[in-house]
């Protein structure tokens, strides 16, 4: 089996649903012409299929290796990363000011999907570097930008984010790492865990972004600062020189993504690791959220991207495996299991949810592109709100359904799926971290309920509903039978999003708001899926590729009939929530 990037569907979403034409008219994005976008996706697909995919299974089997003098990556990893950097893939969506190619984030999202579909363990390295670049570019001094950004964007150096400590997982108020002032720098001491690519042998420097507390900082999250802590300090020419007091104490033994070194990082075992303050003291959490929000969108992409590969593998297996008499395909049908109704159902469940997740992710990235570059101040703010609203949905819903999709992939393989040699199990093991990475689904749901719904009085939600209604009005004008059929599912989605949103905004019991948050998030994902499919149907009216259009229409009908009703269950869970549901004492659970 070999991964093949779904370039045609990617282009369909970018060009007809997520507004690439409008994005390419923004200042700085003029080079994102249709020809360039298509060429980038074609070449990225080749790199993913020819360079990254062949390393995926061996990487899982071999895994990264730790030794006292550093972490060694899997055979072939260093050469693949060298090619990745030399071909400019890491710099695609970064600012030309520091050597980036200045392409839109929506195009970057599509390319990033390919990296994670073909080799999630590899794709995690540029993912973390991207977040570190975003934080430095947005908040650091010009001196730090000049020292680090160009080589991070080029891929010569990689970046990490160091938040979690043994006693402080998602609760960053409990961070204990310290940073003592020492002239023009700080001396950082402490331990961080779960640090993706915290150490490796692919580049000659690694730039750590570290949360720590200065001596007089206030308690809690208000006392956290952010520091750049390089693995090697730079000499007068900006080149790596003296080794800093930072090391990987060990790497974790994980369920999946074995080739990605997840490190326990020790800072300041001796005199202290030299670190440079980003921005102002005690504002580190705000700065780190720039990095985390970037990473949350990327992890959402990971969820359905691994699902795409699981789908391709399951489909190929189903087209080859013969098992029992089939019921589909007519008298001349081959006897492969793809013609069993239940196998066909599972494949359609996989494909329909992947297609929806792709639209939501590209929409989110496109909103941030518009928010960054649109000349109208009010529209920029509106698009920023849209991107912020969609981020927890993309991260939470897409990763949860990604796990479901990969589990279905194992199921389609039957007993063979439980055997490592078929490769189906790796996708399920790899994707399982995505609902946990960068804040669990519960944290994303709390963010959606709190910051993205209650705190702005539902403004972003109301703006979203306006756009859903525009699509509903367009369906009313269409005479296409499937567009007519789509009217009711979209109307139901609008009703549920509106009613649940009003309930959330009005909810005064914080415990109840938190308790229903997960169902609210999942309802939003399934409901926005109906919006995505409705927009797809309207866009298909202008498509010349009859086979492509026919397949999309069949998937859309399946989504409306079979998948979209899941939103109803989630909506009723929100609507029917009661405080007494959570009164059972912990000891009685």
The four Cα atoms 524, 526, 532, 538 give a dihedral, to 10 degrees, of: -120
Identify the pLDDT of residue 330. Answer: 74
CATH of the domain at 256: 2.40.110.20
Task: Please give the share of the chain, as a percent, with pLDDT higher than 90.
Answer: 91
- Domain containing 514 — which CATH number? 1.20.1420
452-463 mean pLDDT? 93
Q: How many domains does the chain have?
A: 2
In this prediction, residue 288 carries a pLDDT of 84
Q: What is the DSSP letter of 336?
A: B
CA-based R_g, the chain, Å = 24
Determine the average pLDDT of the residues in 173-191.
95
What CA–CA distance (Å, rounded) separates 133 from 157? 11
Whether 573 has a pLDDT exceeding 90, the answer reads yes
Supply the pLDDT for residue 527: 98
> In percent, how much of the chain has pLDDT > 70?
100
pLDDT tens figures, 54-94:
999 999 999 999 999 999 999 999 999 999 999 999 999 99
Query: Is 376's pLDDT higher than 90?
Result: yes
| Whole-Å CA distances, 283 to 131, 138, 211, 304, 484 | 17, 13, 10, 33, 52
Taking only the tens place, the pLDDT of each residue in 314-360 is 999 999 999 988 899 876 778 899 999 999 999 999 999 999 999 99
CA distance 27 to 153: 21
Q: Is residue 403 part of a domain?
A: no
Residue 380 included in any domain: no
Phi, psi (deg, nearest 5) at residue 327: -120, -10
pLDDT digits (tens, 9 = 90+) for 90-115: 999 999 999 999 999 999 999 999 99
3-state SS record for 192-236: EEEEECCCCCCCCCEEEEEEEECCCCCCHHHHCEEEEEECEEECC
Q: Which of 286, 314, 342 is the last residue of a domain?
A: 286
Q: For residue 520, what pLDDT band results from cuts at 50, 70 and 90?
A: very high
Q: pLDDT averaged over the chain?
A: 96
pLDDT of residue 72: 98
* Strand partners of residue 225: 212
In the predicted structure, residue 169 carries a pLDDT above the cut 80: no
Question: What confidence category does residue 38 fall into, taking pLDDT thresholds of 50, 70 and 90?
Answer: very high
Confidence of residue 543 (pLDDT cuts 50, 70, 90): confident
The Cα-based distances of 234 to 173, 209, 241, 242, 275 in angstroms read 32, 16, 5, 7, 12
Which pLDDT belongs to residue 174? 84
CA distance 559 to 530: 7
Residue at 237 is within a domain: yes
Q: Do the domain assignments include residue 278? A: yes
**Secondary structure percentages of the chain, helix, strand, coil, to 5:** 60, 10, 25
pLDDT of residue 544: 87
Which domain does 182 fall in, by range? 159-286
Is the distance from CB of 290 to CB of 135 less than 8 angstroms?
Answer: yes
Looking at 256, 286, 316, which one is the last position of a domain? 286
* Cα angle for residues 496, 388, 137 (degrees, 5° grid): 170
Catalytic center residues: 438
pLDDT of residue 333: 73
Which uninterrupted H or E stretch holds 502? helix 481-506
**What dihedral angle (degrees, nearest 10) is formed by the CA atoms of 433, 165, 267, 68?**
-50
CB burial of 88-116 (b: ≥16 within 10 Å; e: otherwise) equals ebbbbbbbeebbbbbbbbbbbbbbbbbbb
Per-residue confidence (pLDDT) for residue 1, from 0 to 100: 82
Residue 17 has pLDDT above 90, yes or no: yes
pLDDT of res. 495: 98
531: in domain:
yes
Angstrom CA distances, 399 to 402, 437, 573, stand at 5, 10, 20
Q: Confirm whether 562 is domain-assigned.
A: yes
> Which of 247, 268, 286 represents a domain boundary (last residue)?
286
Please state which of the ranges 32-46, 198-212, 287-301, 375-389 shows the lowest mean pLDDT.
287-301
Whether 327 is in a domain gets the answer: no
More confident site: 454 or 172: 454
197-242 pLDDT tens trace: 999 999 999 999 999 999 999 999 899 999 999 999 999 999 999 9
Distance from C-alpha of 72 to C-alpha of 381, rounded to nearest angstrom: 45
> Is residue 435, in this structure, part of any structural domain at all?
no
């Amino acid at each position: 089996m070999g991964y093949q990037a779904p370039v045609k569907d990617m282009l369909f979403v970018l060009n007809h649903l997520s507004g690439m034409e409008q994005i390419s008219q923004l200042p700085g994005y003029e080079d994102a012409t249709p020809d360039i976008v298509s060429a980038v996706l074609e070449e990225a697909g080749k790199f993913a299929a020819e360079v990254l995919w062949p390393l995926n299974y061996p990487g899982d089997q071999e895994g990264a290796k730790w030794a006292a003098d550093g972490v060694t990556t899997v055979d072939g990893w260093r050469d693949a990363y060298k090619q990745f950097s030399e071909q400019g893939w890491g710099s695609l969506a970064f600012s030309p000011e520091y050597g980036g190619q200045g392409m839109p984030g929506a195009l970057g999202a599509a390319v990033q999907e390919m990296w994670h579909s073909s080799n999630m363990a590899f794709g995690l390295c540029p993912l973390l570097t991207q977040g570190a670049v975003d934080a430095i570019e947005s908040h650091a001094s010009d001196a730090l930008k000049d020292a680090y950004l160009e080589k991070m964007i080029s891929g010569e150096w990689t970046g990490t984010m160091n938040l979690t400590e043994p006693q402080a997982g998602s609760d960053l108020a409990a961070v204990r790492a310290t940073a003592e002032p020492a002239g023009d720098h700080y001396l950082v001491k402490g331990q961080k865990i779960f640090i993706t690519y915290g150490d490796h042998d692919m580049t000659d420097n690694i730039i750590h972004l570290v949360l720590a507390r200065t001596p007089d900082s206030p308690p809690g999250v208000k006392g956290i600062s952010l520091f750049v802590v390089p693995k090697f300090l730079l000499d007068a020419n900006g080149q790596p020189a003296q080794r800093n007091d930072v090391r990987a104490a060990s790497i974790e033994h994980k369920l999946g993504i074995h080739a990605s070194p997840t490190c326990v990082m020790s800072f300041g075992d001796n005199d202290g690791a030299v670190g440079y303050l980003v921005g102002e003291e005690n504002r580190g959490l705000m700065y780190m959220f720039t990095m985390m929000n970037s990473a949350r969108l990327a992890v959402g992409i990971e969820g359905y991207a691994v699902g795409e590969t699981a789908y391709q593998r399951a489909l190929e297996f189903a087209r080859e495996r013969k098992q029992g008499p089939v019921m589909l395909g007519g008298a001349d049908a081959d006897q492969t299991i793809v013609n069993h109704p239940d196998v066909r159902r599972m494949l359609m469940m996989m494909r329909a949810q992947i297609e929806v997740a792709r639209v939501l992710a590209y929409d989110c990235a496109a909103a941030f592109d518009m928010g960054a570059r649109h000349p109208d101040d009010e529209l920029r703010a509106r698009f920023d709100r849209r991107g912020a609203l969609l981020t927890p949905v993309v991260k939470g819903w897409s990763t949860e359904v990604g796990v479901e999709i990969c589990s279905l992939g194992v199921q389609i393989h039957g007993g063979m799926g439980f055997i490592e040699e078929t490769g189906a199990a790796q996708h399920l093991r790899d994707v399982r971290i995505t609902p946990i990475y960068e804040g669990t689904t519960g944290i994303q749901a709390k963010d959606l309920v709190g910051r993205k719904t209650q705190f702005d009085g539902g403004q972003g939600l109301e703006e979203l509903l306006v756009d859903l209604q525009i699509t509903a009005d367009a369906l009313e004008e269409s005479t296409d039978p499937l567009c007519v059929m789509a009217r009711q599912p979209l109307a139901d989605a609008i009703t549920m999003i509106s009613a649940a949103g009003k309930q959330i905004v009005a909810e005064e019991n914080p415990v109840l708001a938190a308790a229903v948050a997960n169902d609210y998030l999942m309802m939003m994902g399934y409901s926005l899926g109906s919006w995505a499919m409705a927009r797809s149907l309207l866009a298909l009216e202008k498509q010349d590729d009859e086979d492509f259009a026919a397949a999309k229409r069949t998937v859309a009908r399946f989504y409306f009939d079979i998948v979209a009703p899941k939103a109803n269950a989630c909506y009723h869970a929100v609507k029917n929530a009661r405080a007494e549901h959570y009164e059972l004492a912990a000891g009685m659970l």
